[in-house]
Amino acid sequence: MSEIKNPLEIYAVLAKTNCGQCGVPSCMAFAAAVLQGQQKLAACPYLEPAAAKQLSQRIVQRRSLEDDHQQAIEQLQREVVGLDFSLAAPRLGARLVDGNLAINCLGKDFCITPSGEMVSDCHLNHWIYVPLLHYVILCKGKEPQGEWVPYNTLPGAAEWSQYFSHRCEEPLRQLADVHRDLVFELLHLFGAKPVALSGGADHSLLILPLPKVPFLINYWEPEEGFASQLNILLDRSAGENINAQSINLLARGIIEMFRQLILRHSHDGKLF
């Protein structure tokens, strides 16, 4: 018996009336909802119960991004269980608070419990959870050396490099172009420190998404005839303290957080 993995295979056996009695506006949308586990075939009034039961046995439901994210968290939580937090704290640059690891992220403490749960006095940003767990597990305690390198030079970064450029650096550049004062105010609010480096950037700021994973943000303001530029550099030691995917998640999470804050505080409620 062949497996059904495509909503078109379900759609092919439906009455195609688009009656809406199943609670979904069209038969195609219903087929997609069934494959994603959001609807049952029995909800279709035109499909015989026996046929619905037979088809249901052949359906391979698609995993959602939320499912994948939750599965990744549960796997990492299992790896955290059993770690000696008293030994882990020094290598992570963390503190022990009531038996939990308190790890500073952008000036705010996020705690990992012995069971791998995350707790904090501030809003629990979902984007920090997986990188935080990876940091607890993978960090070798390598101290940053101040040797700044592009993201794509880090171990395992090649497959994520284009994403980092287009989904992290470029959106932050665009935000800085339109909301320069607000973006730099937000960076300072989250603990960014100016850095004097050769290279000619108009702004060079160091931020600490994690204690031993600093980011260096360089921004060149637009000039007549020249567009602005922005890059995010990593300390070479980052590859020994976290993985490339988690760096991507951290950077993307920071940009999304800034976008939401700008929407909330800009005069017209718009990004651009």
Q: What is the pTM of this model?
A: 0.75
Query: Is residue 143 one of the residues assigned to a domain?
Result: no
Domain range enclosing 235: 148-265
Residue 12's domain is classified under what CATH number? 1.10.15.40
Do 170 and 99 belong to one domain?
A: no
Do 153 and 253 belong to one domain?
A: yes
Name the domain boundary from 138, 165, 186.
Answer: 138
Higher-pLDDT residue of 258 and 121 is: 258
Q: Give yes or no for a contact between 111 and 94, defined as CB atoms under 8 angstroms apart.
A: no
Do 172 and 226 belong to one domain?
A: yes
Do 240 and 174 belong to one domain?
A: yes
Token pair listed for 199: 């290279």
Question: Does the pLDDT at position 134 exceed 70?
Answer: yes
Do 216 and 261 belong to one domain?
A: yes
Cβ contacts of residue 67 below 8 Å, gap of 6+? none
Name the domain boundary from 84, 103, 138.
Answer: 138
Query: Is residue 272 one of the residues assigned to a domain?
Result: no
Do 119 and 154 belong to one domain?
A: no
Res 246: pLDDT: 94
Res 202: pLDDT: 93
User: Given CA atoms 144, 211, 116, 159 in this order, what sign does their dihedral have?
Assistant: negative
DSSP H or E stretch at residue 251 = helix 244-265
Token pair listed for 244: 């490339």
Query: In whole angstroms, what is the distance from residue 167 CA to residue 245 CA?
Result: 13
Query: Is residue 2 one of the residues assigned to a domain?
Result: no
Do 184 and 252 belong to one domain?
A: yes
Question: Does the pLDDT at position 249 exceed 70?
Answer: yes
Name the domain boundary from 119, 138, 157.
Answer: 138
Query: Is residue 189 one of the residues assigned to a domain?
Result: yes
Do 107 and 41 belong to one domain?
A: no
> Where are the extended beta strands (E) located within 107-264?
108-112, 118-119, 148-150, 193-194, 203-210, 213-220, 229-235
Chain segment 169-223, per-residue pLDDT in tens: 999 999 999 999 999 999 999 999 999 876 789 999 999 999 999 999 999 999 9
Res 38: pLDDT: 83
Query: Is residue 1 one of the residues assigned to a domain?
Result: no
Chain segment 64-115, per-residue pLDDT in tens: 556 667 888 899 999 999 899 999 999 999 999 999 999 999 888 999 999 9
Question: Does the pLDDT at position 241 exceed 70?
Answer: yes
Residue 220's domain is classified under what CATH number? 3.30.310
Do 242 and 152 belong to one domain?
A: yes
Q: Give yes or no for a contact between 215 and 232, defined as CB atoms under 8 angstroms apart.
A: yes
Do 73 and 48 belong to one domain?
A: no
Q: Give yes or no for a contact between 127 and 253, defined as CB atoms under 8 angstroms apart.
A: yes
Query: Is residue 82 one of the residues assigned to a domain?
Result: yes
Query: Is residue 50 one of the residues assigned to a domain?
Result: yes
Query: In whole angstroms, what is the distance from residue 233 CA to residue 171 CA?
Result: 15
Do 261 and 182 belong to one domain?
A: yes
Total of domains in the chain:
3
pLDDT-based confidence at residue 148 (cuts at 50, 70, 90): very high
Query: Is residue 14 one of the residues assigned to a domain?
Result: yes
Do 132 and 154 belong to one domain?
A: no
